[in-house]
Amino acid sequence: MKLNFSDLKPLTVAMAFAALLTGCQPETSDTPVPSGPTAFDVVAADADLDVLEAALNKADTAAKPAWAGLARVTAFAPTDAAFVRYLGVADEAAAIATVNAPAFTKAQALDLLAYHLNGGIERRLAALVRDTAFAFGSTRNPNGQLFFAKTGNAVSVNGARVTRGDVAADNGVVHVIDQVMAPPVGNIVQTLTNAAYAANYNLLAAAVTKAQLNGSSGLAGNGPFTVFAPSDSAFLATLRGVLNNNALTEEQAIAALNGLDINAPLVAGNANSTLLRILQYHVLPSRSFSTTLPAGDAATLLGTRTVAVASSATGLTVTGGGNGGVAANVFPRFTNITATNGVIHAIDRVLIPAP
């Protein structure tokens, strides 16, 4: 049975723990390491980091030496609330139970912890960060790159905000963050078709393949890209309207997509509403996380056609020029999905460009 998009649980395999790096201002080599507990001890002593502690204990001797022994580490520590949202469970106790369960393996815990840790030769302090954006590495290999940004006074990594930075440890520094970061499983096309996400992107994947955007010259290319990815339910609603068939099933919709002329308008009177141009309209030619998405009009791959990005207390929205002013909502639990060549934000409406 197909899950509702809102019920989907995010990746519970590889996930996130790394370090502020390359673009931030490092300490000088003669800066003394602060006295105090190790990064592991910092986690163990913090009541807001109990789920992370459970993951460290699950990984046991394979991860603790890195968090407790390497000199000058920089570690990112997701809060208990971040794990609850990420795992899609009710509370902290359920999150700890999920981490301790056999289904969450030691290998998965190790992957998660490696992605949130940098074992560099220098600590990286959030207070000294000066660059607006840069990439840096974690101890996860391969695909261990993370992306740091500073917007105003807010520091973030992969869209996860640093809520408490520069917590001193004897072997480095810990930054507490408000999201768990899932390491990439591949490029954007590989991510959309990965088992962890594919159940909600069948129609989008079929459309991308039909429009021949699934190769190295498209969304599997170097990028970087930011993709607003409509869920299956969003895509199905649009196709039901286009085909004037409210009973259209997902299987029928995929068959309809496979039979489309990708250069024929889907909306009467709107020459920009071809399948190819609609898909291009969902892509920004940049890597933008939720914390770095430009407010206002954002350029897309569709030439001069832009989408309107807005942020509010209830979350992010994006509006297409041909959507009659009705915004698509970004799913909070499914934003900042990192791919090797960009980032994906799941949305609840297909964006239509202006005529």
CATH number of the domain at 24, please. 2.30.180.10
Domain end: 150, 177, 204, which one?
A: 177
Residues 78 and 46 in one domain: yes
d(C-alpha 74, C-alpha 135), whole Å: 15
Residues 109 and 135 in one domain: yes
Interstrand relation of 283-284 and 296-299 (parallel, antiparallel or unpaired): unpaired
> Which has more confidence, 133 or 355?
355
Domain end: 128, 158, 177, which one?
A: 177
Best CA proximity match to 334, nearest among 176, 209, 109, 182:
182
Residues 157 and 198 in one domain: no
**Mean pLDDT throughout 191-203?**
92
pLDDT tens, residue by residue, 153-167: 889 999 999 999 989
Q: Report yes or no on 257 lying in a domain.
A: yes
Q: Report yes or no on 291 lying in a domain.
A: yes
d(C-alpha 24, C-alpha 122), whole Å: 11
pLDDT (0 to 100) of residue 125:
63
Residues 251 and 318 in one domain: yes
Best CA proximity match to 156, nearest among 175, 173, 174, 137:
175
d(C-alpha 349, C-alpha 351), whole Å: 6
* Number of independent structural domains in the chain: 2
**Mean pLDDT throughout 220-231?**
97
pTM: 0.86
Which domain range does residue 154 map to? 5-177
Predicted confidence (pLDDT) at residue 264 exceeds the cutoff of 60: yes
Q: Report yes or no on 265 lying in a domain.
A: yes
Residues 130 and 236 in one domain: no
- Percent with pLDDT over 70 in the chain: 86
- Percent with pLDDT over 90 in the chain: 68
Q: Report yes or no on 158 lying in a domain.
A: yes
Residues 292 and 222 in one domain: yes
pLDDT tens, residue by residue, 249-263: 999 999 999 999 999
Q: Report yes or no on 171 lying in a domain.
A: yes
pLDDT tens, residue by residue, 19-51: 333 334 344 333 344 456 899 999 999 999 999
**Mean pLDDT throughout 320-342?**
95
Residues 232 and 342 in one domain: yes
Residues 264 and 167 in one domain: no
Domain end: 145, 177, 209, which one?
A: 177
Q: Report yes or no on 11 lying in a domain.
A: yes
Q: Report yes or no on 353 lying in a domain.
A: no
pLDDT (0 to 100) of residue 65:
77
Q: Model confidence at 332, in pLDDT bands (50, 70, 90)?
A: confident
Beta strands in the chain (DSSP E): 73-78, 117-118, 133-137, 145-151, 154-157, 160-169, 172-177, 225-230, 283-284, 296-299, 306-312, 315-319, 328-329, 337-339, 342-347
Poorest-confidence range of 14-18, 222-226, 259-263? 14-18
Residues 125 and 200 in one domain: no
For the chain, how long is the longest CA-to-CA vector?
70
d(C-alpha 64, C-alpha 75), whole Å: 12
Interstrand relation of 117-118 and 133-137 (parallel, antiparallel or unpaired): unpaired
Task: Tell me the residue type at 115.
Answer: Y
Residues 148 and 239 in one domain: no
**Mean pLDDT throughout 281-308?**
94
Residues 11 and 160 in one domain: yes
295 exposed, middle or buried (CB, 10 Å; 0-12, 13-18, 19+)? exposed
Q: Report yes or no on 352 lying in a domain.
A: no
Residues 15 and 84 in one domain: yes
